[in-house]
Amino acid sequence: MLIPCPWCGDREDIEFKYGGSADVAYPRDADAVDDATWARFVFFRPNPKGQMTERWVHTAGCRRWFTLVRDTVTHQITTA
C-alpha cells in the first residue's frame, strides 16, 4: 500500500505506523465522565467496511502524524 504523507509524498506502508481511528476524541474532562463513557473511549473503536478516517505516523520518515481516509475494502486512500 502506498500512503501519502502530507510532508514527504507517497511512501510504502512499511515506513508508517497505524494510529487507529481518528474519530475518537479524548474527553474534554476525563474526570467528569462516568465509567461507561470512559470505557467506550478507551476500548471501543469503529471498524467500518468502507471509508474510515485514520491516523498514521510516518515513523521511518518525517515522524509527523496525519489523518487520512482509507477505504477498508479497496485500500483506496483519500486525504482527509
Partner 1 sequence: MSRLASGGRIDRTRPIQFSFNGTPYRGYEGDNLASALLANDVRVVANSVTYGRPRGVFSAGVEEPNALVQVGNDTMLRATQVGLVDGLEAIGLNGRGRLSLEPDGHRYDKVYAHCEVLVIGGGRAGITAALEAGQTGDRVILVDEQAEFGGRLLGAGWNDWLETSLGALRSPPDVRLLTRATAFGHYDQNLVLIAQRLPNGGRLWQARAKRVVLATGAHERPLIFANNDRPGIMLAGAARAYVNRYGVAPGKRAVIFTNNDSTDALAGDLKRAGISVEAIVDVRAGEAVLDTFPSPAGGGGQGGGLGGVTIAPLTGGGSRREVECDLLCVSGGFNPTLHLFSQAQGRLRYDQALACFVPDAAPPNVEVVGAAAGDLGGRGQGTIMPYWVVPSDGQDWSTHFVDLERDVTVADVRRALSTGMRSVEHVKRFTTIGTGSDQGKTAGINETAIIATQLGQPVGAVGVTTFRPPYVPVSFGLMAGRNRGDLFEPIRLTAMHPWHVAHGAVFENVGQWKRPWYFPRHDEDIETAVLRECRAAREGVAVMDASTLGKIDIQGPDAVEFLNRMYTNAFDTLKIGSCRYGLMCKVDGMVFDDGVVMHLGPDHWLATTTTGGAAAVLEWMEEWLQTEWTDLRVRLTSVTDHWADVAVVGPRSRDVVRGLFPKLPLDPESFPFMAIRESETAGIPVRLHRITFSGELAYELWTQSWYGLALWEAVMAAGEPFAITPYGTEAMHVLRAEKGYIICGQETDGTVTPQDLGMSWILSKKKAFIGRRSHRRRDTARPDRKQLVGLLPVERDQLLPEGAQLVVEPDGTIPTKMIGHVTSSYRSATLDRTFALAMLQSGRERLGAMVYAPLNGHVVSATVTEPIFYDKENVRRDS
The option from Zn ion, partner 1, none interacting with 79 (CB < 5 to 8 A, set by class) reads none
Rg (CA), the chain: 15
Residue number with CB closer to Zn ion (59 or 78): 59
Residue number with CB closer to partner 1 (47 or 63): 63
The option from Zn ion, partner 1, none interacting with 80 (CB < 5 to 8 A, set by class) reads none
Q: Which residues contact 53 (CB under 8 A, 6 or more apart)?
A: 21, 22, 23, 67, 68, 69, 80
The option from partner 1, Zn ion, none interacting with 42 (CB < 5 to 8 A, set by class) reads partner 1
- The amino acid sitting at 56 is W
Q: Tally DSSP H helices, then E strands, for the chain.
A: 1, 6
Minimum distance from residue 72 beta carbon to Zn ion (Å): 22
